[in-house]
Chains A and B, each alone.
Chain A
Amino acid sequence: MKEIELVISQFIDNELNDEEQKKLFVVLAEDQNLRQTLSDFMQIKKNTSEHYKNITTELFRPAIKQTGTEPNKKYKTMFYFSLAASIVFATLLAWNQNSKDEISKQYYALQSQFKSLERQYSNVKEMKTEKESFSQLLAKKNVRTKFKKWISLKTIPRLPNAEFLSRIKQKYEAKPVNSVAITKEDFIGGQIVGN
């Protein structure tokens, strides 16, 4: 009997499958007491549910500072904000890096161009100064004469003039040179005897 009542209890809790329900209906159809039990249980179920639903009271909410949900929201917002800021910062940094490269490229190109121009300028300047100094040098009278003389000495072989030659001839002819005559006989059998 109690086993069947247990099944009835499960039935009103909607915990029986179709097969079990069919078996229960067969038993219920034959037993008036069991039908009464079912009726009682159903009434209890209904009344208990109603009873709990009707319980009301004045509840006071605990005085709690909400630390859970709103700070979470705040942290979430802060997190997303910092994420967005870091993305923007990274983009700016990357863009800045690229532009910096271009600028530096241009800078180095201009610098090399400038250096080559500077070199050219210095060469030209040097040449000019050399020319100027040379012309200045040439402008001086004595230097010009010396230069001309030097040039003439360097480039044109000069023959001694006739007067110079006659003077030299006179000088060496006036003073006869002491000389020793060596004959063939001096080498044959004999000893060279000096004076």
Chain B
Amino acid sequence: MEKVILNYKREIIPFTELYEKYSMDIYRYSLSILKDEDDAKDAVQEAFVKYVENESSFRGDAGQKTWLLVVTRNYCYSKLKRAEKSNVRIDEEIFEGTYEPQYDSEITLKDALICLSSEHNELLFLKEYGGYSYKEIAELTEQSIENVKIKLFRARQQLREILKGDK
């Protein structure tokens, strides 16, 4: 994988200001991965607590926002892994009668996004909302630029199909 050196801002801002500035972005990012509001809020708390714990050793090698995004990402994926493990034994009958997919109603973008995988959702968030380039996304998510390019295309394709009602 090509090592990309990102040219982020090296300016270090105080915690209060940092929280005001980035907490909502971190929430949106974690929501794109976890797809659950409470879990996303937990992720925000976790990210900022970790930031405070490591603030003394933080030297601004990467931007504060990037650092927060990486911490949030690690937290979200480890949470998803734990959830995956604990959900293996859940009997599918529990959901009988409670979940009724409404095929007739119009599918909103929110529903379509929930249908996408966490990875695709994350990439769409970073590209469409974060405005990061392929290189930056590749560095942040630790994968190649080619992968980012293809996965983003697939996410869009999938989204289009869901919205059109093909899936």
Interface residues of A (CB under 8 A from B): 5-6, 9-10, 13, 15, 40-41, 44-45, 47-49, 51-53, 55-57, 59-62, 64, 66-69, 72
Contact indicator B23/A5 (Cβ below 8 Å): no
Given A55-B31, A59-B41, A5 and B113 contact (CB-CB distance below 8 Å)? no
What A residues does B14 contact at CB under 8 A? 69
Given A40-B160, A44-B156, A52-B129, A68 and B56 contact (CB-CB distance below 8 Å)? yes
CA distance A53 to B27 in the complex (A): 11
Interface residues of B in 127-167 (CB under 8 A from A): 127-129, 133-134, 149-150, 152-153, 156-157, 159-160, 163
What A residues does B124 contact at CB under 8 A? 48
Cross-chain contact of A9 among B23, B24, B125, B153 (Cβ < 8 A): B153
Contact indicator A9/B160 (Cβ below 8 Å): no
Q: Is B109 on the interface with A (CB-CB < 8 A)?
A: yes
What B residues does A45 contact at CB under 8 A? 128, 156
Interface residues of B in 37-95 (CB under 8 A from A): 37, 40-41, 44-45, 48-49, 52, 55-56
Q: Would you give the shortest CB distance from B20 to chain A, in whole angstroms?
A: 9
Interface residues of B (CB under 8 A from A): 14-16, 19, 23-24, 27-28, 31-32, 37, 40-41, 44-45, 48-49, 52, 55-56, 109-110, 113, 124-125, 127-129, 133-134, 149-150, 152-153, 156-157, 159-160, 163
Cross-chain contact of B15 among A9, A53, A59, A68 (Cβ < 8 A): A68
Given A9-B156, A66-B16, A49 and B128 contact (CB-CB distance below 8 Å)? yes
CA distance A69 to B14 in the complex (A): 6
What B residues does A47 contact at CB under 8 A? 109
Q: Would you give the shortest CB distance from A120 to chain B, in whole angstroms?
A: 75
Given A5-B157, A40-B160, A56-B24, A68 and B52 contact (CB-CB distance below 8 Å)? yes
What B residues does A13 contact at CB under 8 A? 127, 134, 152
Contact indicator B19/A61 (Cβ below 8 Å): yes
CA distance A150 to B124 in the complex (A): 138
What A residues does B45 contact at CB under 8 A? 60, 62
Q: Name the residue on B nearest A8 (C-beta).
A: B153
CA distance A72 to B60 in the complex (A): 15
Which secondary structure characterizes the binding site on chain A? helix
CA distance A60 to B49 in the complex (A): 12
What A residues does B157 contact at CB under 8 A? 5
Contact indicator A51/B113 (Cβ below 8 Å): yes
Q: List 16 A-B contacts (CB under 8 A).
A: A9-B149, A9-B156, A10-B149, A15-B134, A40-B160, A44-B156, A48-B159, A51-B113, A52-B28, A57-B37, A57-B41, A59-B44, A66-B52, A68-B52, A69-B15, A69-B55
CA distance A5 to B156 in the complex (A): 10
What B residues does A10 contact at CB under 8 A? 149, 153
Q: Name the residue on A nearest B159 (C-beta).
A: A44
Seed contacts A9-B153, A66-B15; 17 additional CB < 8 Å A-B pairs? A5-B153, A5-B157, A9-B156, A10-B153, A44-B160, A45-B128, A51-B109, A51-B110, A52-B28, A55-B24, A57-B24, A57-B27, A59-B24, A59-B44, A62-B45, A66-B16, A66-B52
CA distance A121 to B19 in the complex (A): 89
Q: Would you give the shortest CB distance from B31 to chain A, in whole angstroms?
A: 6
What B residues does A59 contact at CB under 8 A? 23-24, 27, 41, 44
